[in-house]
Structure 1
Amino acid sequence: MPFDRRLTPARPDLAAAHLRGQVEADEFVEGVRVSIRTGLADLRPEPAPDVSIDTQALYGETALLYEDREGFGWVQLERDGYVGYLSMAEIGAAGNAASHRVKVNRSFIYPAPNMKLPPIGALPLGARVGVVEAGDSFARLGEGGFVFAAHLSPIEEKESDFVAVAEKLLHTPYLWGGKSSLGLDCSGLVQIALDAAGVKSPRDTDLQEKALGHALPINEDLSGLRRGDLVFWRGHVGIMRDAETLLHANAHHMMVASETLRHARDRILAKAGPPISSIRRLFPAV
């Protein structure tokens, strides 16, 4: 049967055990649950360091590991189902469930509750951590180290405005496959902003366009839009900040930029790019 290699842990030689009878493979294996132990881990379509990044896994994310071979692990991320290869140096045994998430663009891990000490790591927005002791200023992590407590939120607390989360990443440089303030692509910006608001989102634009919200009519004058609407082109997506302004990570500006939707549409069309394919509304009016 045909399958999407991004979401299906199956190769001709190896596949996940739960796919037995659905795909053909020489061997079927059960996955071992693991956790990301670096701030960011690049997930690639092939087990090599010099191929493109499909996406990034954040500290504390969990995955099912199906193969450990020559320094690379073949995994499926549990948060969004993406399949690919991670460096085994970035993977550890899955520990206790995360209790908090990072709510700022970036926060440091210190070896002791002292901001003057050299950090031993850094955590991106959306990273998950397990807090075992919370003090007035610092939280001690079960995995080791201390993080400034005000940079964390309990897992169950959700941001009320996902657009405000995305706006904090304005001017972040563009990075294909990126998912942090060090570098973002268009669908990565949408996914991490929605995640902060407790909304599950696929990783790539084509999957997001199919899964998120409901379609709105596309008027020639681009009227009737509001904050939080998602605008899709083939291979691209942006977030409306208001009725006229689009926020998007894009390769024209090579960063997360804010501009009028009309200007973005006209510029893309002038370069023989695709027209807007859909506009989707995630939430009903309050």
Structure 2
Amino acid sequence: MMDRRLTPANKRVADPSLEASWPGVRYADPDPYSVQWPMVDLMNAPEGHRDRQLLFGEAVGVYEMHEGWAFVQAAKDGYVGYVPQSSLAQVPAPTHRISAAASHVYDQPNFKSRDLIRLTHGCLIHVLDEEQGFLKTSLGFIPAVHCVAADMQQPDPVTEAKLFLDTPYLWGGNSRFGIDCSGLVQSAFMACGIPCPGDSDLQEIELGYEIADTETLQRNDLLFWKGHVALVADDNRLIHANAFHMAVVYEDIDAAIARIAAQGDGLVTSRKRVPMARVQTNQI
């Protein structure tokens, strides 16, 4: 059975690769667009519920514009869904990425000038110039210290996850303003150049390899439960976004395992290790 989240097809249009399995619709190659709102919900239907979120500058392929909604597939993870048509534009490719937890866009290259927009960690921007420590963009000026090159790979997922500490929990969230367990893992690993699905069930299937219960956990290992995922931070703690704390927090590993079992959500279903030369295990 095809996964709705990853199948670029609806009742009117489908990707040409699906012609044999999705008959009776128009087949179209996707047109390249980018998100031009600070953040937008990727929904299962127009006015539907949020599956995930897309951030400013992220690339999508548009299969259809219909009654003010765009049916799209996200370039970063292949997720499909609907966003308002007005949230998209065709713009130059991004040159930089917001690497701080969040940043502001100012109307002048001066931190005392008026702030125009807030951007979260992971937003992608196209830089026109640099002035007085600020990056000039079509939106305004962004502190250069908050940005890195768009293709720069960070060395340590847990360090990236720490940027989201105390972020409020939001089901389907992908930003510093609200995030869930799988959104946190996706943000952390993709900042390090590791492809990562958007939901924990797919992350459990696609990320890394299983490690034995007898093997000592290492920093950046992943613990999975049914419907939940957490990153191992050190010998004793994990970091995760969870609905118990309604935030991104550190939690003692053994205490978290016991708490999750006690609340009726079961035992750990897998322990995974993601191989990557750049991943470091000795960060503070």
Which TM-score applies when normalising by structure 1?
Answer: 0.93
Conserved in 2, the CA contact under 8 Å of 1:54 and 1:177? yes
Q: Which amino acid aligns with 1:241?
A: A
Q: CA deviation at 1:12?
A: 3.5
The residue aligned with 1:188 is 183
Work out the CA distance in 2 between the residues paired with 1:96 and 1:73: 20
Q: CA deviation at 1:25?
A: 3.6
Q: CA deviation at 1:272?
A: 1.9
Q: What is the CA deviation profile of residues 72-124 of structure 1, one whole-angstrom value per residue up to 9, with x for unaligned ones? A: 1110011111100101121112x222111100011111222122222221211
Work out the CA distance in 1 between the residues paired with 2:244 and 2:237: 16
The residue aligned with 2:207 is 212
Work out the CA distance in 1 between the residues paired with 2:20 and 2:231: 41
The residue aligned with 1:229 is 221
Structure 1 residue 3 corresponds to structure 2 residue 7: no
Out of 88, 91, 99, which is 2:88 matched to? 91
Conserved in 2, the CA contact under 8 Å of 1:135 and 1:149? no
Conserved in 2, the CA contact under 8 Å of 1:10 and 1:25? no
User: Aligned runs of 1:1-286 on 2, under 5 Å?
Assistant: 2-48=1-47, 51-93=48-90, 95-141=91-137, 143-219=138-214, 224-283=216-275
Q: What is the CA deviation profile of residues 218-270 of structure 1, one whole-angstrom value per residue up to 9, with x for unaligned ones? A: 24xxx610111000001100000012211110011111111111111111111
Work out the CA distance in 2 between the residues paired with 1:128 and 1:45: 24
Q: Which amino acid aligns with 2:228?
A: H
Q: Which amino acid aligns with 1:282?
A: V
Deviates more, 1:104-113 or 1:17-26: 17-26
- Change over 3 Å in CA distance of 1:284–1:87 after alignment to 2: closer
Q: Which amino acid aligns with 2:254?
A: R
Conserved in 1, the CA contact under 8 Å of 2:108 and 2:114? no
Conserved in 2, the CA contact under 8 Å of 1:11 and 1:25? no
Conserved in 2, the CA contact under 8 Å of 1:12 and 1:24? no
SS in 1 for 2:5: coil
- Change over 3 Å in CA distance of 1:38–1:284 after alignment to 2: closer
Conserved in 1, the CA contact under 8 Å of 2:230 and 2:239? yes
Q: Percent of counterpart pairs with the same letter?
A: 37
Work out the CA distance in 1 between the residues paired with 2:140 and 2:127: 10
Q: Which amino acid aligns with 1:87?
A: P
Deviates more, 1:266-275 or 1:176-185: 266-275
Q: Which amino acid aligns with 1:117?
A: S
Q: Which amino acid aligns with 1:119?
A: D
Work out the CA distance in 1 between the residues paired with 2:122 and 2:46: 26
SS in 2 for 1:131: coil
Matched length: 278
Conserved in 1, the CA contact under 8 Å of 2:109 and 2:131? no
SS in 2 for 1:6: helix
Q: CA deviation at 1:137?
A: 1.1
Conserved in 1, the CA contact under 8 Å of 2:182 and 2:198? yes
Work out the CA distance in 1 between the residues paired with 2:213 and 2:175: 31
Q: Which amino acid aligns with 1:90?
A: S
